[in-house]
Copies of this chain bind each other. A is one copy, B any other.
Amino acid sequence: MRQEDIDRVRALRLFRDVADETFETLLRASFLQRFPRGLTLIRESEPADFLHVVIEGAVEMFAAGNGRETTISLVHPIGAFILAAVLKDQVNLQSARTLEPSQILMIPAVSVRQAMERDPAFMSAIVAELATGYRTVVKDLKNQKLRTGAERLANWLLRQEKERGAGGKVEIDVEKRTLAALLGMTPENLSRALATLKQHGVAVRGAQIEINERDRLVRFAHPDPLIDDYDI
């Protein structure tokens, strides 16, 4: 593992303030693996043996049921997943697959639980991570229950624009069917939702989106800090 990557992992909220010894112990027990695109890393209902950290690439968290399948979240570098299952020593509620060739740091669940018991700073960081994660899912649930598909899309675009956008330009950097699943709709519906947004200040050319009249889109989307802001 490159020192640069180690530093980036160390900078994670989860590890930033832990003792050097804790961090080193965790790293020594871990595996850094490269995976091709489209590989299923973990499967729901299976035991959570490793805490996963995305070093490079992108990972889709998804879940199946009723013959349907939906995306719960996307994890980008540097981000961790299935912390809760690891801590509870329980089965995964979600599956995970790579969306791109990815580099994943796998920290044995036992090591995580041991380190937590030994290092109060680590446990404190875990509390913060879990609390944030909890609130994120509550926001997702509100998003799903209080909004229509087109509204969810509109707010997703506004958030993308705020985070990565340049001059109102947003690129959909995942397959549209993945975005559709994340937003809780079918790919067909996403196409139609994008068409709808053309009447609300948005220009669409494939995956290239241009928010020409931000205020009109905002008027349609009704963004809500208690749903859309990541840092609350």
- Are B135 and A93 in touch, CB under 8 angstroms? yes
State the CA gap A45–B144 with chains docked (Å).
Answer: 19
* Interface size, chain A (Cβ < 8 Å): 51
A231 to chain B, nearest CB (A): 9
Contacts of A85 in B (CB 8 A): 135
Q: Smallest CB–CB gap between A81 and chain B, Å?
A: 12
CA distance A72 to B145 in the complex (A): 9
Q: Are B184 and A72 in contact, CB atoms less than 8 angstroms apart? A: no
Which listed residue, B127, B145, B147, touches A144 by the CB 8 Å rule? B145
Once the chains bind, are A142 and B232 in contact (CB under 8 Å)?
no
A88 within 8 A of B: yes
Q: Which residues of B contact A69 (CB under 8 A)?
A: 146
Please list the residues of chain A having a beta carbon within 8 angstroms of any beta carbon in chain B. 44-45, 63-66, 68-70, 72, 83-85, 87-88, 90-91, 93-94, 116-117, 120, 123-124, 126-128, 130-135, 137-142, 144-147, 151, 184, 222, 224-227, 232
| Beyond A63-B142, A66-B224, A130-B134, 16 additional pairs, beta carbon < 8 A | A45-B225, A63-B226, A64-B146, A65-B227, A84-B135, A88-B135, A91-B232, A93-B135, A93-B139, A94-B138, A116-B127, A120-B120, A123-B127, A134-B137, A137-B137, A144-B145
